[in-house]
Amino acid sequence: MSDSTPRAVLTTESGAPIADNQNTATAGPGGPLLVQDQYLFEKLARFNRERIPERVVHARGSGAYGHFEVTADVSRFTKAHFLAEPGRRTEVFARFSTVAGNLGAADAVRDPRGFALKFYTQQGNYDLVGNNTPVFFIKDPSKFPDFIHTQKRDPYTGIQEADNVWDFWSLSPEVTHQVTWLFGDRGIPASYRHMDGFSSHTYQWVNADGAAFWVKYHFKTDQGIRNLTADEAAAIAGVDPDSHQRDLREAIDAGRFPSWTLKVQVMPVEEAAAYRFNPFDLTKVWPHADYPLIEVGRLVLDRNPENVFAEVEQAAFSPANFVPGIGPSPDKMLQGRLFAYADAHRYRLGVNHTQLAVNAPHATVAHNHGRDGAMAANAGGRAKNYEPNSFGGPYETGRPLWAPTEVSGATGTHAAPSHAEDDDFVQAGNLYRLMSEDERARLVEGLAGGLAQVSRDDIVARAIGNFRAADAEYGDRLEAAVKALRA
């Protein structure tokens, strides 16, 4: 800062000027502190309250602003205003993340990456909270807390335990596809810019005529896919734990704006019941041969947040934030997530988190009768806080955002329905057989490295059995590799 830069006077939080920021007031030159020096206590008390609960998953992440521009006409599939015509641009905030690590964990690790987007549309904020993997480990939301407990620290040892990870995975054969993906070459992206993003779930799109479609989103990186080997990642994580954060921030500051091309797979609703896989099973993909990719538009990130805490740590994404023309599918995992996120935000950030600049609508204004609570800004002003009212209050439209879904049968704790080709292994085997010989070798080496740390033979045998069910060679090679490491 040059001497001519105008400087503000240092003040207390209530704006009074500070005379001395170097020496706390004492009773005489060598005496104890004076309670009347409230400036010190304000600083210390504020400092004690700087941290908020970190996200229970995806704690470690990086964010950036940008825009989404429609490049192809998809109005035959959805009436969503922000997707309605080529050329239309919508402001976006994105947050990428790792899943298991705490806030200060290293970025270059083998872990799925979060790919969360908030579209500030004229019809309200639309959040798409996806990952860089097209599938997920489990397919029932009640298994999520158990699964995450195995990824986090053991209650006794205080570290992540291979026993817990592999015990849960071996007892949950539906993870075999995602685990094969995760230990494949795309399991450690080189940066957030060099990975794809997926909705993973199936969502509903509905057009202006009320016709509904099932849709999966694919954001293809325009930077190209780049990954790290396990050795490269270990070296980077050791010297630069913030490698992904540094890469994204520096690229945007230098004007190298990352972008992604959005494509969707679209399934007419009437094809879902007879499709060979349950189209709402999060552990399965829809092969492109069945449902090819259709271009929609381009996502560009071109502005870094000014303040990481205010805009990234306090960002709140919820899969339940839909806009007219887009809705949920009956995927049980998605249905569970519709509850989990806003609940997490109310705990982590407070009931008024939607009033924070990063979370509030930018292209429209929220009008409702939710009021008060901790840290309420003047939301609603003097307007009546009930509905119906005779004072010009906001009114309901009578137009549902999405189309109704057909249901049948009795209530109960049902497993997700199986379609003709559904089992827990078929797509894991297909993925393995698609890999080159080199990639298979790296996959087996990575899995064996983890399995060899497991203390119980029954867990190892059960885990290998799942991979063998996907592909006999896959299981045999893994068994031999684990045996060699444990010898």
As annotated, the active-site residues are 58, 131
- Residue from 66, 141, 325, 475 touching ligand HEM (CB under 6 A): that is 141
- Residue from 66, 114, 124, 197 touching ligand HEM (CB under 6 A): that is 114
- Residue from 175, 315, 342, 454 touching ligand HEM (CB under 6 A): that is 315
The smaller minimum CB distance to ligand HEM, of residues 97 and 329, is found at: 97
Stretch of 69-77, 188-196, 262-270, 315-323 lying at the interface with ligand HEM (CB under 6 A): 315-323
> Mapping DSSP to helix (H, G, I), strand (E, B) and coil, where does residue 121 land?
strand
Q: By the 8 A CB rule, do 413 and 444 touch?
A: no
Tokens of 43: 């600083």
The smaller minimum CB distance to ligand HEM, of residues 144 and 257, is found at: 144
Q: What is the smallest separation between the CB atom of 173 and ligand HEM, expressed in angstroms?
A: 18
Chain-centroid distance, C-alpha 50: 24
DSSP string of 212-278, one letter each residue: EEEEEEEEEETT---B--HHHHHHHHHH-TTHHHHHHHHHHHTT---EEEEEEEEEEGGGTTTSSS-
Count of alpha carbons within 13 Å of 66, Cβ hemisphere only?
23
Tell me how long the chain is: 487
Tokens of 123: 């019809």
Strands 124-131, 203-206: pairing kind = unpaired
Using rule CB under 6 A, residue 344 touches ligand HEM: yes
The smaller minimum CB distance to ligand HEM, of residues 269 and 340, is found at: 340
The smaller minimum CB distance to ligand HEM, of residues 131 and 176, is found at: 131
Count of alpha carbons within 13 Å of 236, Cβ hemisphere only?
22
- Residue from 60, 67, 95, 284 touching ligand HEM (CB under 6 A): that is 95
Q: What is the smallest separation between the CB atom of 2 and ligand HEM, expressed in angstroms?
A: 39
Beta-carbon contacts of 91 under 8 Å, excluding residues fewer than 6 positions away, are 65, 66, 67, 119, 120, 362, 363
Stretch of 15-23, 40-48, 126-134, 362-370 lying at the interface with ligand HEM (CB under 6 A): 126-134
Site for ligand HEM in 283-302 (CB under 6 A): none
Q: What is the smallest separation between the CB atom of 348 and ligand HEM, expressed in angstroms?
A: 5
| Long-range residue pairs from 269-277, CB within 8 A, at least 24 positions apart, any chain | 269/211, 269/212, 269/213, 269/214, 272/214, 274/419, 275/419, 276/419, 276/420, 276/421, 276/422, 277/419, 277/421, 277/422, 277/427
Q: What is the smallest separation between the CB atom of 445 and ligand HEM, expressed in angstroms?
A: 27
Q: By the 8 A CB rule, do 318 and 459 touch?
A: no
Site for ligand HEM in 246-285 (CB under 6 A): none
The smaller minimum CB distance to ligand HEM, of residues 252 and 315, is found at: 315
- Residue from 62, 123, 131, 321 touching ligand HEM (CB under 6 A): that is 131
Using rule CB under 6 A, residue 244 touches ligand HEM: no
| CA proximity to 395, closest of 422, 374, 355, 367 | 367
Tokens of 174: 């539906």
| CA proximity to 376, closest of 353, 396, 360 | 353
- Residue from 338, 340, 356, 366 touching ligand HEM (CB under 6 A): that is 340
Q: Exposed (0-12), middle (13-18) or buried (19+): which is 365, by Cβ within 10 Å?
A: exposed
- Residue from 65, 82, 136, 474 touching ligand HEM (CB under 6 A): that is 136
Strands 294-303, 89-98: pairing kind = unpaired
Using rule CB under 6 A, residue 181 touches ligand HEM: no
- Residue from 78, 97, 123, 265 touching ligand HEM (CB under 6 A): that is 97
The smaller minimum CB distance to ligand HEM, of residues 125 and 200, is found at: 200
Tokens of 468: 């063998």
The smaller minimum CB distance to ligand HEM, of residues 80 and 129, is found at: 129
- Residue from 252, 333, 358, 460 touching ligand HEM (CB under 6 A): that is 333
Q: By the 8 A CB rule, do 93 and 310 touch?
A: no
Site string for ligand HEM, 194-213 (x = CB under 6 A): ------x-------------
Using rule CB under 6 A, residue 345 touches ligand HEM: yes
Please count the residues of this chain forming the interface with ligand HEM, following the rule CB under 6 A.
27
Using rule CB under 6 A, residue 383 touches ligand HEM: no
- Residue from 116, 165, 299, 478 touching ligand HEM (CB under 6 A): that is 116
Task: Tally Cβ neighbours within 10 Å of residue 256.
Answer: 11
Rounded to whole angstroms, how far apart are CA atoms 180 and 309? Answer: 35
Site for ligand HEM in 50-89 (CB under 6 A): 55-58, 61
Supply the DSSP symbol for 392: -
- Residue from 83, 100, 228, 316 touching ligand HEM (CB under 6 A): that is 316
Interface residues with ligand HEM (CB under 6 A) are 55-58, 61, 95, 97, 114, 116, 129-131, 136, 141, 144, 200, 315-317, 333, 336-337, 340-341, 344-345, 348
